[in-house]
Chains A and B, each alone.
Chain A
């Protein structure tokens, strides 16, 4: 089933995610990246950030809270069995630290139709508790027909 282009521009309710150092450590272990900035509290205290920071791609952890409602959107009705991640873009601004409170917004930025697949892109933007940008992501998913 084809995804209707009328959904381009549809926005989803924001979500505020509290970043904990334990979640950062769990994520760092899952991606096999034990950089001391992420997992070593003594090192982190002496670093220029003064505390544990999140790996750049940790942005997908709080981003996921905006992706899931899109996947579950009954009106949009994506065929999840045939959906795969096609492309990912991420721009990084201020570093995410343990203890930050990150608010993320998302909207459907593009829908394209090709012969054998549909392509849907979501623009996801996140700010910290100071109102400063931390990440802008574009998630592009491919739905095979």
Chain B
């Protein structure tokens, strides 16, 4: 789908109780901070936290749904700035910030219901 400068999009995801287990199984990342709430508490995280890469995958979905072709995504970069907990709602708000030389540069804000930015310094570049 063609994108235009200034175009906005939104997506969201509620982290269900077992999401970290599904993600652990699919990704192979069984780090106890993701699958064991007691362990998460013990190391000061307040419970089991969602894999940062799962949040990043949700963010990626918002972009690939916009462009309609996963092969057009060229670059993704982000900082995992705050933990995502079970039952959090993650909201992605995106804007096509610029289109230059056939590439689209996407601004993406990824927050939870508290307003905390869980991904920061997000870079997403797509083919036009």
In the complex, which residue of chain B has the Cβ closest to the Cβ of A49?
B71
Chain B proximity mask over A70-84: 1 for CB below 8 Å, otherwise 0: 000000000011111
CB–CB B25/A30 < 8 A:
yes
How many B residues touch A, CB cutoff 8 Å?
Answer: 39
Query: Contact between A56 and B56 (Cβ–Cβ < 8 Å)?
Result: no
- Interface set, chain B 33-72, CB cutoff 8 A to A: 33, 43, 45, 49, 51-54, 56-58, 60-61, 64-65, 69-71
Which residue on chain A has the smallest CB distance to residue B45?
A84
* B12-23 interface code vs A (CB 8 A; 1 in, 0 out): 010000010011
- Is A105 close to B, CB under 8 A? no
Q: Which residues in B have some Cβ–Cβ distance to A below 8 Å?
A: 13, 19, 22-23, 25-29, 31, 33, 43, 45, 49, 51-54, 56-58, 60-61, 64-65, 69-71, 73-80, 83, 121, 123
Q: Would you list the 5 A-B pairs with minimal beta carbon distance, nearest first?
A: A30-B26, A31-B57, A85-B52, A89-B77, A95-B71
* Chain A residues within 8 Å of B, Cβ to Cβ: 23, 26-27, 29-33, 35, 37-38, 48-49, 53, 55-57, 60-61, 64-65, 68, 80-92, 95
